[in-house]
């Protein structure tokens, strides 16, 4: 049984306990589910070697839940879960995924209307049966239908990189409101998560009611869920929900901290406050009635005895301890990238010529790029064979001669295809001539974990391969990652000095933050590339930098955050 299946069952149990009004157990099961979700290894694997003791190493998993998981491995189920399922034969997770529907409502819907799943609920709502229930009305019924509609059309989340430009223009508009002293988008956008479910906007103002009025007049707004004097929740025309909160200027820092999250990070901060006998909320840090910090985020962290923690690190994944011990890394900066090592041109499936890409990269502030068109086994892209690659090298030489006074360099590269058995589709004597040889898998996504791991490691062992592009091949909202033993991959990368790419394209972001952190810890170098297929895609490098920062990477960890000479020297000597 996979981690994914286990955490789904744990989440179900949490919801069942909540339906029954049991205290604390819901949070305990939720915490265990989160622990498994973020655990790097498969629980079944560690159970095989270390039993329930090993399972209890997972954060949030104690004796009780470890026992349940053991039964899941042995029998596929356990008693409490079976009892709940018998009592409530319903799709509780599907139902609570609807905006505004929680466990208590699910219980009522089941008991009164025999609602088992989302389509039952939709039918009941359309038939006007919801409004007849006690404590429900016509509005609740409409709200449920809208929630179902949204869930259907968007799956609830969007890739941040695709929405970021729009979010920034919304932020700018609010900043320009005359009554607004400061405004910033907080939440998962500020933490640069891969995908976002909503936009949390924070504004400081003396006249919150006026700000809300102005906000509701903005052209982006499709629907208003809730409006108050300090908090308004709307749906934007782009399908995202936006939440605007207005606070007094004195509370700006505390509020920004609170609304940036993550929830887990905030809880940990509040616990530190409690230990000191204080209270932390979105209005400030309080000692009794007296506010002792909150004007700036820096002030809040300082008062709590912490160094300032960058938003991308706020996940309660060790950053608080590091901040206490003054051991936070100095993260790579958003303007540190000097070159881009993966892009495609009209030689294969890109939209623009080599020269157009070079010019666009220059305007994006880059000093060098590598042209990495696909290779021959990707026939549908017009992938290059050895001859075509050699021709492209000549074309690149020509462009470099043309631009030699501009201190900008186009490197010769390729996105060489990794075959099923881990060999490459380009001969070694041609690979040797490239400045940057990236290798990537584009097929055979369903190989077993062992085969897939062996395949990628074999590609890394080719001394001509510099970088593995988009290691896990996942596409957000489209397909999951290939099965890999990531620890073995990182070991092999370390041994062969192979660079692992952080592909910055918004629905790839591959490798993910958790793996970035493993690379940082193991001393494996990475490259942040746009994977641009058009001159408009260089802007996505920012998403890759965000991903690197979420994985605690410093400038030293990223080879293309260095000048060309240094970067090439690294590739040559590796």
Site for DNA contains 357 (CB under 7 A): no
368 bridge partner residues = 339, 409
* Segment lying near DNA (by CB under 7 A), choices 274-282, 291-299, 312-320, 484-492: 274-282
Strands 241-247 and 231-236: antiparallel
How many residues touch DNA under the rule CB under 7 A: the total is 65
What b-and-e string marks burial along 370-387, b requiring 16 or more CB atoms within 10 Å of the CB? bbbbbbbbbeebebbebe
Does 288 engage in binding with DNA (CB under 7 A)? no
> Hunting for tokens 């934007």 — which residue is that?
236
Lay out the site mask for DNA across 522-541 (x = CB under 7 A, - = otherwise). --------------------
Site string for DNA, 424-463 (x = CB under 7 A): ----------------------------------------
Q: Of 224 and 522, which CB lies nearer to DNA in the complex structure?
A: 224
Residue 134 interacts with DNA (CB under 7 A): yes or no: yes
- Write out the binding residues for DNA, residues 401-430 only, by CB under 7 A: none
Residue 485 as a binder of DNA (CB under 7 A): the answer is no
Using CA atoms, how far apart are residues 524 and 247, in angstroms rounded to an integer? Answer: 44
Nearer to DNA by C-beta: 266 or 462?
Answer: 266
Nearest residue to 167 via CA among 179, 156, 159, 177: 159
Q: Segment contacting DNA (CB under 7 A): 42-50, 96-104, 356-364, 511-519?
A: 96-104
| Sole binder of DNA in the list 9, 31, 92, 519 (CB under 7 A) | 31
| Long-range contacts (CB closer than 8 Å, 24 or more residues apart) made by 80-85 | 80/13, 81/9, 81/12, 81/13, 84/12, 84/13, 84/16
For DNA, the binding residue among 6, 43, 90, 98 (CB under 7 A) is 98
- Pair 32, 25: CB distance under 8 Å: no
Helix axes 138-154, 118-126, angle to 10 degrees: 140
Least distance from DNA to the Cβ atom of residue 275, Å? 4
DSSP state of 366: -
Helix (H) or strand (E) holding 448: none
Q: By CB under 7 A, is residue 91 in contact with DNA? A: no
Q: Of 401, 339, 347, 412, which Cα lies nearest the Cα of 374?
A: 347
Of the ranges 135-143, 375-383, 409-417, 485-493, which one interacts with DNA (CB under 7 A)? Answer: 135-143
Q: Which residues 6+ apart lie within 8 Å of 289 measured at CB?
A: none
Count CA atoms within 13 Å of residue 451 on its CB side: 9
Of 2, 31, 21, give the one whose Cα is nearest residue 11. Answer: 31
| Residue 103 within binding range of DNA, rule CB under 7 A | yes
Say whether residue 111 binds DNA (CB under 7 A): no
Residue 473: CB minimum distance to DNA, A: 30
Among 9, 43, 72, 96, binds DNA (CB under 7 A): 96
DSSP 8-state class, residue 555: G
Task: Please state, in angstroms and as integers, the Cα–Cα distance from residue 445 to each residue in 4, 103, 474, 531, following that order.
Answer: 18, 37, 9, 20
Shortest reach from residue 514's CB to DNA, in Å: 19
Out of 89, 100, 305, 563, the only residue in the binding site for DNA (CB under 7 A) is 100
Residue with Cβ nearer DNA (302 or 325): 325
- Which residue among 29, 177, 540, 552 contacts DNA (CB under 7 A)? 29
Look at the block and give the residue holding tokens 């290691």: 471
Position 135 contacts DNA (CB under 7 A): yes
Q: Please tell me whether residue 24 binds DNA under the rule CB under 7 A.
A: yes
Which is closer to DNA, CB of 70 or CB of 514?
Answer: 70
* Shorter beta-carbon distance to DNA: residue 243 or 531: 243
Identify which of residues 166 and 282 has a Cβ nearer to DNA in the complex.
Answer: 282
Distance in Å, CB of 125 to DNA, minimum: 12
Residue span binding DNA (CB under 7 A) among the ranges 101-109, 295-303, 336-344, 447-455? 101-109
Q: Given the complex with DNA, which of 80 and 514 has the nearer CB atom? A: 80
Residue 99 interacts with DNA (CB under 7 A): yes or no: yes
Bridge partners (DSSP) of residue 501 are 527
Nearer to DNA, 146 or 449 (CB): 146
Tell me how many degrees the CA angle 474-476-481 measures, rounded to the nearest 5: 25
Does 313 contact DNA by CB under 7 A? no
**How far is Cα 553 from Cα 544, in angstroms, rounded to an integer?**
11
Should residue 136 be labelled a site residue for DNA when binding is judged by CB under 7 A?
A: yes
Rounded to whole angstroms, the Cα distance separating 476 from 182 reads: 33
Tell me the per-residue interface mask from 44 to 83 with DNA, x by CB under 7 A, - otherwise.
------------x--xxxxxxxx-------------x---
DSSP, collapsed to helix, strand or coil, labels residue 38 as: helix
How far apart CA 570 and CA 574 sit, in angstroms, is: 6
From the list 281, 296, 400, 464, which residue makes contact with DNA (rule: CB under 7 A)?
281
Query: What are the strands of the beta sheet with 290-293, ordered from one edge?
Result: 279-281, 284-287, 290-293
Q: Which stretch of DSSP H or E encloses residue 37? A: helix 25-38
Using the rule CB under 7 A, is 227 a contact of DNA?
Answer: yes
Choosing from 140, 464, 534, 554, the residue that interacts with DNA (CB under 7 A) is 140
CA distance 436 to 372: 8
Query: Which residues between 176 and 215 bind DNA (CB under 7 A)?
Result: 187, 197-198, 200
Q: What is the CA radius of gyration of the chain?
A: 26
Q: How far, rounded to the nearest angstrom, does the alpha carbon of residue 387 sit from its chain's CA centroid? A: 40
From CA 252, how far away is CA 233, in angstroms rounded?
19
Q: Is 563 in the site for DNA (CB under 7 A)?
A: no
**Extended beta strands in 104-230, E state:** 158-159, 180-185, 195-196, 198-205, 221-227
Binding mask 233-272 for DNA (x = CB under 7 A): --------x-x---------------x---x--xx--xx-
- Given the rule CB under 7 A, which residues bind DNA? 21, 23-25, 27-29, 31-32, 35, 56, 59-66, 80, 96, 98-106, 131, 134-141, 143, 187, 197-198, 200, 225-231, 241, 243, 259, 263, 266-267, 270-271, 274-275, 279-282
């Amino acid at each position: 049984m996979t981690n994914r299946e286990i955490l789904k069952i744990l989440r179900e149990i949490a919801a069942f306990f909540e339906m029954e009004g049991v205290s604390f157990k819901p949070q305990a099961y939720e915490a265990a589910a989160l622990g498994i979700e973020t655990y790097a290894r498969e629980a079944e694997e560690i159970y095989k070697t270390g039993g329930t003791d090993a399972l209890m190493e997972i954060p949030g998993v104690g004796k009780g839940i470890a026992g349940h998981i053991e039964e899941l491995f042995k029998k596929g189920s356990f008693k409490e879960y079976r009892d709940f399922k018998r009592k409530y034969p319903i799709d509780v997770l599907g139902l609570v995924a609807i905006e505004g529907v929680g466990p208590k409502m699910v219980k009522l819907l089941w008991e009164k209307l025999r609602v088992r799943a989302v389509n039952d609920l939709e039918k009941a709502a359309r038939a006007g049966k919801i409004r007849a229930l006690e404590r429900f009305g016509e509005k609740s019924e409409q709200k449920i239908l809208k929630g179902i509609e949204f869930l259907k059309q968007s799956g609830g989340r969007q890739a941040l990189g695709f929405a970021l430009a729009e979010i920034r223009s919304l932020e700018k508009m609010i900043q320009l409101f005359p009554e607004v002293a400061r405004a910033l988008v907080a939440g998962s956008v500020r933490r640069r998560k891969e995908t976002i479910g909503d936009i949390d906007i924070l504004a400081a103002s003396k006249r919150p009611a006026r700000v809300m009025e102005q906000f509701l007049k903005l052209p982006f707004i499709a629907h208003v869920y809730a409006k108050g004097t300090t908090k308004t929740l709307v749906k934007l025309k782009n399908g995202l929900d936006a939440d605007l909160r207005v606070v007094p200027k004195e509370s700006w820092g505390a509020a920004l901290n609170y609304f940036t999250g993550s929830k887990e990070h905030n809880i940990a901060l509040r616990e530190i406050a409690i230990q000191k006998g204080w209270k932390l909320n979105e209005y400030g840090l309080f000692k009794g009635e007296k506010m002792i910090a909150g004007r700036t985020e820096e002030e809040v962290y300082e008062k709590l005895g912490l160094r300032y923690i960058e938003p991308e690190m706020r996940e309660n994944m060790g950053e608080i301890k590091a901040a206490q011990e003054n051991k936070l890394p100095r993260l790579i900066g958003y303007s540190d990238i000097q070159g881009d090592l993966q892009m495609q041109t009209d030689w294969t499936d890109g939209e623009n010529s080599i020269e157009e890409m070079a010019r666009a990269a220059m305007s994006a502030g880059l000093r060098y790029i590598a042209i990495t068109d696909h290779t021959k086994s990707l026939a549908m892209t017009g992938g290059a064979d050895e001859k075509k690659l050699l021709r492209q090298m000549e074309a690149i030489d020509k462009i470099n001669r043309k631009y030699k006074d501009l201190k900008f360099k186009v490197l010769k590269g390729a996105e060489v295809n990794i075959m099923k058995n881990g060999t490459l589709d380009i001969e070694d004597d041609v690979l040797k001539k490239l400045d940057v040889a990236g290798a990537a898998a584009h097929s055979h996504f369903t190989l077993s974990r062992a085969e897939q791991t062996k395949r990628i490691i074999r590609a890394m062992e080719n001394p001509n391969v510099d970088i593995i592009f988009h290691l896990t091949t996942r596409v957000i909202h489209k397909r999951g990652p290939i099965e890999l033993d990531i620890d073995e991959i990182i070991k092999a990368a370390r041994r062969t000095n192979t660079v692992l790419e952080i592909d910055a394209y918004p629905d790839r972001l591959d490798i993910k933050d958790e793996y970035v952190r493993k690379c940082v810890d193991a001393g494996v170098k990475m490259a942040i590339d746009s994977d641009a297929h058009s001159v408009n895609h260089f802007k996505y490098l920012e998403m890759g930098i965000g991903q690197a920062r979420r994985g605690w990477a410093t400038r030293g960890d990223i080879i293309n955050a260095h000048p060309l000479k240094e970067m090439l020297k690294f590739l040559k000597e590796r």
